[in-house]
Amino acid sequence: MASIDYQSLIPNNVDLDNDRRLQRALEKWQPAFLDWWKDMGPEGYQAKDVYLRTAVSTEPGGWAVFDHVKMPDYRWGIFLADREKDRVIPGGDHAGKPVWQEVPGEHRNALRRIIVTQGDTEPASVEQQRLLAKTAPSLMDMRNLFQVNVEEGRHLWAMVYLLHAYFGRDGRDDAEELLARRSGDEDKPRILDAFNQPCSDWLTFFCFTMFTDRDGKYQLGALAESAFDPLSRTCRFMLTEEAHHLSVGESGIERVLRRAAELTKLDPNGDARNQGGIDLQTVQKWINYWFSYSIDLFGSEISSNSADYFSSGLKGRWREAADHSEHSAMNQFYQMPVVQNGKMGVEDIPLRNAMNEVLRQDYIADCQRVVKRWNRMLKKQDVDFQVSLPHNRFFRRQGIYAGQEFNPQGEPISDDEWNAKKNEWLPTDEDRAYVKSLMVPVTEPGKMAHWIAAPLRGINRQGPDFEYVRL
Ligand SMILES: [Fe+2]
Ligand SMILES: [Fe+2]
């Protein structure tokens, strides 16, 4: 069951050959997807051989093969994690009952909305990143970008499969719409805000894969706990692929910080920009911006939708089945910091209504672990600088903290103070122009752009000089 049928037009492990109707519908969508890829996928390099991994099994360990492939020839397909025997609903009102193999009528609309929203982020990120290859700081980075892009394309396939297989005509319409919206487009934007932000420099790309893809990890984690078993199985396999995207972000920022530290020490005035690099403070500003945008994606702190999703079993908490022993979340409260007359207070919120915040806090703890690793490296580099995450109230545009300004420590501040300080905390136009000016392509195998340190290891045990993209 875990091995994948590569003979079919659409590689899959869902026995597509025995469901002609579904197969035909997906085979109709496939050329539309390829057209979208040609229009909105990476600009240039489509005819080049790229050292990509392709999923060949859903077994943990040894699930992928690496080979030089032209991106349009990538074998996008439909892969679900194996069915877990006797799996029960992890959380909510029906915890402990058998999971659903079909969509219950009363949850059809909510599930459809969840799947469409998740599906929309996948092509959106490809669109956001489509110009980046032209300024890749090394061949390996270019390869990593393409790897992330083809897998986001596969994640779109994952969601489109669910729409086609379980939502009939509506699902087919949704699948078409997923190829019609465009990141940043005024008339037909992508659904979520962070996925309409431009991603035009590599520091942004690393922040995006570190922070925004990590939001994806937690959303997928919550959906992996879904009572709707095909959704859970789909998300579990997506998480396997997602891990690489996060490591691209984490190690990318680590390399920028390492190089910033080296250049800071090299300069008589400790000014990395004077040495033609990105300075540590600028990296901090990018972190502030993308961390804030990414935590907005979890939804409002107090949310009746999140309560409904949890109680009906559509979503669980992070590792609901494995890490929690009490699965109803009833008669429990979350102490939510709230603004009361301009000051911070605390309100007891029924736990089910605070599920967005519970997931967000798990995400923040995950980010903190990475920041700690970066800071250990900075300490070893012997520079007097540590990076930090801004408070989760800082620079929010969604949720209960959106109507008020906060400093990076999370203290409420006046609009005047915000206006006086925001250029110290967030990227300015000058910062963006400066970072952009450093984005020059480096395409000789093993060579790096000046502003970034070499990676500590290559891909799939290949060396630094390997031809990750054959130009
Ligand atoms: Fe994804
Ligand atoms: Fe991703």
Main-chain phi, psi angles of 55, to 5 degrees: -70, 130
* 3 within a domain of the structure (yes/no): no
* 2 within a domain of the structure (yes/no): no
Distance 427 CA to ligand 1 centre (A): 26
* 9 within a domain of the structure (yes/no): no
* 4 within a domain of the structure (yes/no): no
pLDDT of 368:
98
C-alpha distances (whole Å) from 446 to each of 110, 137, 186, 272, 283 are 48, 10, 40, 23, 24
Is residue 81 scored above 50 in pLDDT?
A: yes
* 10 within a domain of the structure (yes/no): no
For 387, the domain range is 16-470
Three-class SS state of 343: strand
When pLDDT is averaged across residues 215-231 and rounded to a whole number, the result is: 98
Is residue 2 scored above 70 in pLDDT?
A: no
- CATH number, domain of 92, equals 1.10.620.20
When pLDDT is averaged across residues 211-233 and rounded to a whole number, the result is: 98
* 8 within a domain of the structure (yes/no): no
Domain tally for the chain?
1
Distance 151 CA to ligand 1 centre (A): 7
* 28 within a domain of the structure (yes/no): yes
Main-chain phi, psi angles of 405, to 5 degrees: -90, 145
* 283 within a domain of the structure (yes/no): yes
Closest ligand to residue 122's CA: 1
pLDDT of 57:
81
pLDDT tens figures, 172-192? 999 999 999 999 999 999 999
Distance 385 CA to ligand 1 centre (A): 33
| Residues, CB-to-ion distance under 5 Å, ligand 1 | 122, 152, 155
